[in-house]
Structure 1
Amino acid sequence: MLTSHFEYPSRAAAGPAIVTIDDVKLGRQVSTLHLTLWQDGLLSQSPWVTPSVSRRVTLAYTSHTNLSTFEGITIPTAYEASPTAALPPIPDFELLKTQDIDNNWELSRLPKPPGPLSYLTKWRFYMPRGNPLVSGTTDMWIRLSNGERITQGALAYVADAFPHNLHMFLATPELRALIEAQQKQANSNAKGQGGTEERASLWFPTLTMNLEAKMALPEQGIEWLTVRVTTKQIKDGRFDIDLLIRDVDGEIVALSQQVAMILSIERNMASRKPKALL
C-alpha cells in the first residue's frame, strides 16, 4: 500500500465483518481500490450484505504499488537535517520489555478493567517520563504486546492506536499538572471508599485518516516503532493529529494525518440508536 484514505461513518463492534473491494483502476505501476467494511446482516455469498440492515463501518480508498521496486528522483530535504527531525532518546528495549520502565520511558497502563478500551491491550505504548523533545509534540515507542513483529499490513493499525491518556501529553504543562492532581485526588477518594476499579474518562473516535507509506518494512516485520504525535488545536471536542512513524534507525516508515473527536467514554458504551433522517 502506498496511500490510503479512511472514513469511519459507524462505530465498529466485536464480531464478524466483511470487506468488499471495488477495482477503481488497475495500473502498471499504481492501482487504486475502494474498500468497504460491513457489519450486521451479513450473507455467506454475494451480494454479501443486506442493504436495509448492514452497516458501513469503514470506507477506504487505497493506492497500491511495490514499494520495494518503486524508483524515482530522491532529494535530501532541509527538514531531514533540522533538530525537529532528531529521534527521541533510544530506550533500553530489554528493560522496557521486562520492567516496563527505563530512564526516559515508561509503559502507559490501561485502567483495570479496560472495558471498551480492551482493543488497546494489543499494544504496548511507552511514553516519555520527562519534557517533550520538541515543544507541542509527544513521542512514544510502541510494540505489539504478544511479541509479534509489526508488518506492512499493520501500519494503518499503528496510525490509529493511541494510549488512553494521549490528551495528557498534548496539553500545556500547566493544564497537565492540574489534571494529574485532580486524578490523584479522585483515585485517593475512591480508595478511601473501598473502590478498586479504575476508569478511563475519554474516548478518541477517528473521523478521517490519511496514511502514506514511505518505505517497505522487512517481510518478517520489525519489533519497535517510534511515533511522534503533533496536535495543533484541541477545541469543541475535535482535534487534529499528525503522525511521524519511524524505525529505530530514524527512517520514516509512514506519515498520517487525522481528524478525531474527544468524547466521554460512556458514548462508546451506549447502545446504537436508529438511523437518523436528513
Structure 2
Amino acid sequence: MAPPHTQEFEDAITVTPISSHTYSAHLSPRWTVGAVPHGGYTMAVLHRLAITHFKHTHPTRHHGDPMPIAMQMNFLRRTNVGRATLIVKDAKLGARTSTIHVTLSQGEPDQDEKPTDRVVGYITVSDPVSEVGLTASSDWTLYPPPPSTRPPEIKETESTESAHSNTDGNSPWVLMKDPFSGFRHVMAHHILYGPPKEHRRRNVGDQWARFHPRGPKGGPARWTTDSMVLLTDIFPHMLTGLDAAAAPSRTGSDGKGSKTPPFWYPTVTLNVDFKRRLPPEGEEWLYSRIILKDVRNGRTDIEVIMMNERGEIVALANQIGLVVSASRNTNGRTLPSAKI
C-alpha cells in the first residue's frame, strides 16, 4: 500500500544503505527549481536519511521509532539531479536525544571528477516514548491574524482541476499559482491557497496547502512528517512578490513562451524545529505563516510557522537565502523537461 504522501514522493526520498554509515539517494528531476533540486526536497531526503540510519545501524535505539526533532543544514554548493552519496557521523548517541552529522556529496553532471560536499549539517533525533516532561501553553498568537483560521471550503467535483479552481463564495482564500512553475518544477506538487491579491503583503504571507505529487505514482495525498519538511521551503507568492518588484516576467529561451524568473533564491541555511509528529494517516491541510523581515544586499531571512487545522504548531523554520540571477542556477546545466 502506498504511504499517505504517495508512492511518487516515497520513491523521490528513498535512501539506500551502502554500509553502516554510508547511504545513497537519487535526487529526482521532478522536484527541482531550474536545474537544481529544491532545498526543501533535499531536506526531506536528509530527514529520511536520519530515520533510515537509526533503523539500519542503531535499530534498538530510541525504541526502534526514531524521529528527527531538529535539523540545521548548510547548503554549500548547488546540488544536481542524480545520484548522491550520504555520509553519517554519530556525533552523540544518547538515551533521550542523539545527534548525527550528515553530508550530501556529488560530482558535477557529466564530469569525471571527485565528488564535493554539497550539503552538511546536524540532525537531532528522539522518539515518542522518550519525549516526556513539562508541557505548557502560552498566550502567543499569530499577528497580524490570518484571514481565517480554517482552510478553504473546496467545491469537490469529478475533475481535480475544477475542484481546486473553485472555493465557497464566502471563503477568504483563493487558489494561488506560480507564474514561473515551468522553472520551479517543485511547485507543481502543491495546491496552495492564499488571500486575494489585493490583501497580500510583501513581507507577511499566509497559505493553506494540500499535497498533490505529480507523476505516474502521484495523485491526491496527505501531509506526513516526511513531506512536511518540504513545505517549510514552499512559499511561491513571497518569491513572486520579489520577482515583480525587481523585473517583469521573462520569456524562456526555448521559444515556447515558458517564463523564467529574473532571480533564483538558493538556500544558504535552513533550520527546522519539529514540534509535533503528524499522525500516521497524515493531514489533509497544513497552514503556513511566512515572514520576510528584510532583504539586504541580496540576502533574505525567512521565518515559517506551520500549523495543523487545529491551530497547533507542527514545525518552525528559519532560513537564510540569496537573491541571484536565475542564470546562476542553469549555468552549465541542462534544465529538466517541462513535461516532468
Shift of 1:223: 1.9
1:209 to 270, 291, 294: 270
| Correspondence 1:236-275 to 2 at 5 A | 236-271=297-332
TM-score, length basis structure 2: 0.63
Shift of 1:86: 4.8
Equivalent residue for 1:46? Answer: none
Equivalent residue for 1:110? Answer: 178
Equivalent residue for 1:276? Answer: none
The question of whether the paired residues in 1 share the 8 Å contact of 2:164 and 2:191 is answered with no
The question of whether the paired residues in 2 share the 8 Å contact of 1:8 and 1:207 is answered with yes
Matched, 1:91 2:167: no
2:123 to 43, 62, 66: 62
Equivalent residue for 2:82? Answer: 15
| Correspondence 1:120-269 to 2 at 5 A | 120-129=187-196, 130-132=198-200, 136-146=203-213, 147-163=220-236, 165-169=237-241, 179=245, 183=248, 196-269=257-330
Question: Structure 1: 5+ residue runs without aligned partners?
Answer: 43-49, 273-278
Shift of 1:87: 5.2
The question of whether the paired residues in 2 share the 8 Å contact of 1:113 and 1:197 is answered with no
Q: In the aligned structure 2, how far is the partner of 1:105 from the partner of 1:207?
A: 31
The question of whether the paired residues in 1 share the 8 Å contact of 2:181 and 2:187 is answered with no
Shift of 1:166: 1.6
Q: Could you give the per-residue CA deviations for residues 101-141 of structure 1, whole angstroms, max 9, x where no partner exists?
A: 434223332346713x2122222232221425x99411111
CA 1:64–1:259 in structure 2 vs 1: closer, same or farther (change >3 Å)?
same
Q: In the aligned structure 1, how far is the partner of 2:166 from the partner of 2:124?
A: 39
Structure 1 vs Structure 2 CA RMSD: 3.1
CA 1:95–1:270 in structure 2 vs 1: closer, same or farther (change >3 Å)?
farther
Q: In the aligned structure 2, how far is the partner of 1:128 from the partner of 1:78?
A: 25
Question: Structure 2: 5+ residue runs without aligned partners?
Answer: 1-67, 214-219, 334-340
Q: Tell me whether 216-225 or 146-155 shows the greater mean CA deviation.
A: 146-155
Shift of 1:242: 0.8
Amino acid at match of 2:238: L
The question of whether the paired residues in 2 share the 8 Å contact of 1:67 and 1:215 is answered with no
CA 1:41–1:23 in structure 2 vs 1: closer, same or farther (change >3 Å)?
farther
Q: In the aligned structure 2, how far is the partner of 1:127 from the partner of 1:83?
A: 16
Amino acid at match of 2:293: K
Say which SS state the counterpart of residue 84 (structure 1) adopts.
coil
Q: In the aligned structure 2, how far is the partner of 1:61 from the partner of 1:83?
A: 29
The question of whether the paired residues in 1 share the 8 Å contact of 2:74 and 2:120 is answered with yes
Q: In the aligned structure 2, how far is the partner of 1:22 from the partner of 1:131?
A: 47
Aligned residues: 245
CA 1:99–1:122 in structure 2 vs 1: closer, same or farther (change >3 Å)?
closer
Equivalent residue for 1:100? Answer: 165
Q: In the aligned structure 1, how far is the partner of 2:137 from the partner of 2:98?
A: 27
Amino acid at match of 2:143: T
Amino acid at match of 1:31: S
TM-score, length basis structure 1: 0.76
Equivalent residue for 1:72? Answer: 133
Q: Could you give the per-residue CA deviations for residues 227-269 of structure 1, whole angstroms, max 9, x where no partner exists?
A: 1011111121111111100011111000011101112222111
CA 1:6–1:95 in structure 2 vs 1: closer, same or farther (change >3 Å)?
farther
Matched, 1:36 2:103: yes
Q: In the aligned structure 1, how far is the partner of 2:174 from the partner of 2:122?
A: 36
Say which SS state the counterpart of residue 268 (structure 1) adopts.
helix
Shift of 1:203: 1.5
